[in-house]
């Protein structure tokens, strides 16, 4: 099953799958970073916005926010959540905007959905083109050289009579520009159990390689993957927040 087919089928369960994510803390942190590194503007685009929870928070901060995704059912939910925002069905590797922006975000490691170095490079170029002078491109990312294939996260949630169990983990073979996100979703009730398994192809990149791709376009700042404090990356951890200021 393809990535888009899986998410189309489960778009109604997506927020349940992400119920343990602290969207408020993530949005607050990037809002603070934008106040430090940004140009003072408040026009915002969220790449791979899904059902729009981050867009909702940025609107509440006072931004003029918009979102894009490749999945129309997700965008339909986002439009109901954020009727003030504009949402578009676009691929983030080749997206276009009608007016230049102050801030572009890409949360939840979604930058990796650019599933090759060529697509990732195109996304970086598209973000640079879409930003105003001194605009900021934010995303979080995992370093391929620091992935532990044995680690995964799991949580359980209930909806009506159903119990959902979600599992996900990164996998990297140790070479090349492809890694994957392995996902398992189990839906169980008193009568039946359904299971979806999928492996999403994603781009694999080291922080060094990523910085080299970004530096022709951006001044690059790397921070620890901690949404409670603003701390420079320790050069050890495998997850980081990239804050990229347009040159």
Please write the tens of the pLDDT for every residue from 93-109. Answer: 999 999 999 999 999 99
Q: What band does 19 get if pLDDT is binned at 50, 70 and 90?
A: confident
Per-residue model confidence (pLDDT) at position 54: 98
Structural domain boundaries in the chain: 3-143+205-246, 145-203
Per-residue model confidence (pLDDT) at position 10: 63
Indicate if 145-203 has the same CATH topology as 3-143+205-246: no
- Picking from 112, 108, 73, 74, the residue whose alpha carbon sits closest to that of residue 92 is 112
Looking at 20-29, 108-117, 190-199, 233-242, which range is the least confident one? 190-199
In the chain the beta strands, taken as DSSP E runs, fall at: 43-47, 64-69, 86-89, 101-106, 131-142, 153-159, 162-172, 178-188, 193-203, 218-224, 239-246
Q: Which superfamily does CATH assign the domain made up of 145-203 to? A: CAC2371-like domains (2.20.130.10)
Cα 127 to Cα 93: distance, rounded to the nearest angstrom: 9
Alpha helix positions (H), the chain: 3-9, 14-17, 23-37, 53-61, 72-81, 117-130, 207-214
CATH top-level class for 3-143+205-246? alpha beta
- Angstrom distances, CA of residue 164 to CA of 16, 151, 191: 8, 20, 14
- Kindly tell me if the per-residue pLDDT of 202 is higher than 50: yes
Whether pTM exceeds 0.85: yes
Largest CA distance in the chain: 58
- Going by their DSSP bridges, the two strands 218-224 and 239-246 should be labelled as antiparallel
Q: What band does 14 get if pLDDT is binned at 50, 70 and 90?
A: confident
Q: What band does 5 get if pLDDT is binned at 50, 70 and 90?
A: low
- Kindly tell me if the per-residue pLDDT of 8 is higher than 90: no
Per-residue model confidence (pLDDT) at position 134: 97
Rounded to 5 degrees, what are φ and ψ at 190? -65, -20
Convert the pLDDT of each residue in 107-166 to its tens digit: 999 999 999 999 999 999 999 999 999 999 999 999 999 999 999 999 999 989 999 999
Convert the pLDDT of each residue in 49-65 to its tens digit: 999 999 999 999 999 99
Count the Cβ atoms, other than its own, within 10 Å of residue 63. 22
If you search the block for the tokens 């106040």, which residue do you land on?
A: 35
Q: Give the chain's end-to-end CA distance (angstroms, integer).
A: 40
Per-residue model confidence (pLDDT) at position 215: 98
């Amino acid at each position: 099953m393809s990535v888009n087919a899986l998410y189309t089928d489960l778009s109604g369960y997506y927020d349940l799958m992400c119920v343990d994510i602290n969207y408020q803390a993530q949005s607050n942190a990037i809002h603070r970073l934008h106040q430090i590194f940004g140009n003072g503007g408040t026009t915002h685009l969220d790449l791979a916005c899904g059902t729009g929870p981050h867009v909702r928070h940025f609107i509440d901060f006072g931004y003029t926010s918009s979102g894009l995704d490749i999945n129309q059912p997700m965008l339909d939910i986002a439009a109901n959540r954020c009727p003030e925002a504009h949402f578009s069905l676009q691929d983030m590797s080749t997206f276009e905007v009608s007016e230049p922006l102050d801030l572009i975000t890409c949360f939840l490691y979604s930058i990796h959905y650019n599933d090759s170095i060529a697509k990732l490079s195109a996304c970086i170029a598209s973000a640079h083109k879409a930003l105003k002078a001194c605009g900021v491109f934010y995303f979080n990312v995992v370093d391929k050289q620091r992935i532990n294939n044995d680690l995964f996260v799991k949580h359980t949630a209930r909806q009506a009579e159903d119990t959902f169990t979600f599992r996900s983990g990164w996998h990297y073979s140790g070479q090349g520009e492809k890694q994957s996100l392995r996902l398992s979703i189990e839906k169980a009730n008193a009568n039946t159990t359904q299971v979806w398994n999928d492996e999403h192809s994603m781009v694999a990149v080291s922080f060094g390689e990523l910085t080299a791709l970004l530096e022709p376009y951006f001044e690059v700042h790397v921070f620890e993957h901690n949404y409670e404090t603003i701390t420079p990356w320790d050069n050890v951890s495998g997850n980081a927040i990239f804050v990229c200021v347009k040159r």
